[in-house]
Structure 1
Amino acid sequence: MFRGGSFKEIIFHIYADLKKNIEGEVNNANLATQTYADETVKPALDNYVESTSKVSLDDYVTDEKKSELDTYITAKKGELDNYESAKETELDTYRIGTVEPAIDSYTTNKKSELNTYKEEKIEEINSALGTLQETDLTDDYTGNSSESVASQKAVYDGLATKQTDLENVNAIELTANKTGDRNSYIDFHSDDTNADYSARIIRAPGESGNLNISNLDSNIVFTCGAIYKGTKEILYDNGSSLSTNGYQKLSNGLIIQWGYISSSYNNSGKLITFPTAFPTACRNVTGQMITSGNWDEGWSVYSVSTSKFYLRNSNGSTVPFYWFAIGY
């Protein structure tokens, strides 16, 4: 119902009431929609996810599917390993069948070329020597000037020297022993007076074979462990012990012995036994005390035999002592 007024005012009031009613309806619709979404749609979706989608995914991702995946991964790894092994075999086959034979062939060819070249050069020298030897190279050689003759002589002398150098290669003779059951040696030929050799180095067979050096001119022979002049031994290691208390035996029977005691002797005397007994006699025992400033120490030895002696310090104190003995 409208109060009195102009037509325009009446229309405005009608529009305002209509707009208000429409806005109310829209608000009610929005509210109803939100309520529907909160109370119906969302719970339905949550329920679907929990009861259907998750369950379906759990059913799909089973131990069987995991096993299938593991089997697939294992198979792929096996394929890669087989491929790698096949490539390695292929490379080895190529190396053995192609590369190494090519290298061996190249090396053999080069060795053959070097040997051929060497033989050709030696043949050239020998040929040139033969040609010059057939020519009269005297100063009055008819048809040649003195300069030409001198030049030919110089060439001949040079080639003769080269030939001599080649022949002198045999001044050293090597004999190898590959089987290990014979001597290996190096012979030196210094002149023509010795038919076999002037000096010789010999390595006896076996893993620990002796090394012998012989010089025929001086009649000196060195053998590992001994030196001889003729059949007489000059020096020989007849046994030794290079310890703190030790000895050295020489080939002529002489024995040198030495030792050390820390502090175990005084007026009562200290027994010292030789590291090895002298077969015949002990000819001398001497030594040196080690003191720290007390210079009035006095020592002496007594009761010397082939196997032992006694040491006494007249001061009565105990100090270290180095001793030295010689005999045979």
Structure 2
Amino acid sequence: MKGIVKLNNTLTSTATGEALTAAMGKKLNDEKVAKSGDTMTGLLSINTGNSWARMQFGTNDGSWKMEFDPKGAASRQMNFNFNDSTGERTFILFPALEKGVNQLVAYQSWVNEQNPKNRSGIDLDTATTPQFFINAKSGYVSAVDVEHAGLILGYQNDCSQIIAAGGNLWVRGSDANPISKPEDWSEWKRILDEKNGVLKSDFAHSRASNGYQKLPSGLILQWGRVSIKNDSYIATTFPIAFPNTCFNVQTTIDIPRAMRGGDVVSAHVGDISRTGCSIGFSENSYGGERPLYWFAIGY
């Protein structure tokens, strides 16, 4: 009827011949987002389908944009980019996240702390946090030069420390719980030298006919040759003494021809100690002197 307007008190109607009530108008005004200085609560959802979802923030000379990859779970990637007034774009690109793996974005101050140049003057006797460092304040091996660098591996109650200086490398460790004082650590051990790459004392040797070979594990191999008359027994001294013990000595006699059925030849050892042993030779078909070769192992 002319002059009469039907009112609608909802926000969901699609009617074209009805007017909104004042109450619904107030609701729209109360819930709108202002162009300046407003507050929103709850979740704001922006869905752009197959296009990168973007939020833009203007500046005096361009704008920042946050971009989100539309592939979603297949990519898990976002970027920041700045568009200046000339149209040039500068990006901060984040690598795609791996599913179920959380990542930490570090502040520059934290990154700087991880730089060994910024980790000098530490006390190695109490330091167990994994890190690089230079020029420790205390706890370092006394043989290093003034300038040195190092690495700490492990955690509070199981830790190793490595120091490099002057072409040499030292290492020490501890499994005290907790590690808190100098006595908790092993002695510093030099494992590399500046010329040979390995510490020569760990591979000390003598290539003489009566010689030896030291191994890094502490084992020592020794060998030699003696001449013995038949049915004799003589004392033999090792080229060097074993620091702890000799595990075993083997000996072999040099026979210049094939053995015959009735031949009996025996080489044997006894009186084994850290410094030497006795070697004997018995036979029933040879006369004179024969060379015997021996081999010993210990540590």
Q: What is the TM-score with the length of structure 2 in the denominator?
A: 0.38
- Please state which structure has a larger fraction of its residues in strand: 2
Task: Tell which structure's C-alpha radius of gyration is larger.
Answer: 1
Q: What is the TM-score with the length of structure 1 in the denominator?
A: 0.36
